Amino acid sequence: MNNLFNAGDSAQILSRLEKLSPEATKQWGKMNVNQMLAHCNASLETAMGITSSERVGIVARLFGILLKPTFFGEKPFPKNSATDQTYIITGNPDFEAEKAKVIKQVKQFAEGGPEKCTTNIHAFFGKLTPTEWATMQWKHFDHHLRQFNA
């Protein structure tokens, strides 16, 4: 399973990020490329423990338990997946600033390894291992990079 703690996997994500341009056109969804980069930064900041999101209600947690095996399985995230309100980016962030930040943060997360990964509870899935956080982040980046043909 791909994850950002694996040097080859994180290098692949970084290479794909480098190829993004402000003119990248989305294949699905509502975000533009600038918003997508800011969205990925926000998600990675949660995995790094820089930020955290509020725990969802009990019904959503039960769905999280049921969906966790699928979410962390081999299949990529489906197109037009729902986005947690915490990570919806409005406005039009600066492309170059967000791209530089996301590249820096992917490197920090990958180099920090499991020891530097958050121990915070995931809002939907509950307690995750560092490898689960790294897997989720790889799948999340892959999803959005495919969204913009990168």
Q: What value does the CA radius of gyration of the chain take, rounded to a whole number of Å?
A: 15
* DSSP string of 18-87, one letter each residue: HH--TT---SSSS--HHHHHHHHHHHHHHHTTS---PPPPHHHHHHHHHHHHHHTSSSPPPTT----GGG
Confidence category of residue 82, pLDDT binned at 50, 70, 90: confident
For residue 124, the model assigns a pLDDT of 87
pTM assigned to the model: 0.94
For residue 132, the model assigns a pLDDT of 96
Task: Say which DSSP state 5 is in.
Answer: T
Is the CB of residue 132 less than 8 Å from the CB of residue 6? no
**pLDDT per residue over 110-124, tens digit each?**
999 999 999 999 988
Confidence category of residue 146, pLDDT binned at 50, 70, 90: very high
Burial of 99 by CB count in 10 Å (0-12 exposed, 13-18 middle, 19+ buried)? Answer: buried
Is the CB of residue 120 less than 8 Å from the CB of residue 46? yes
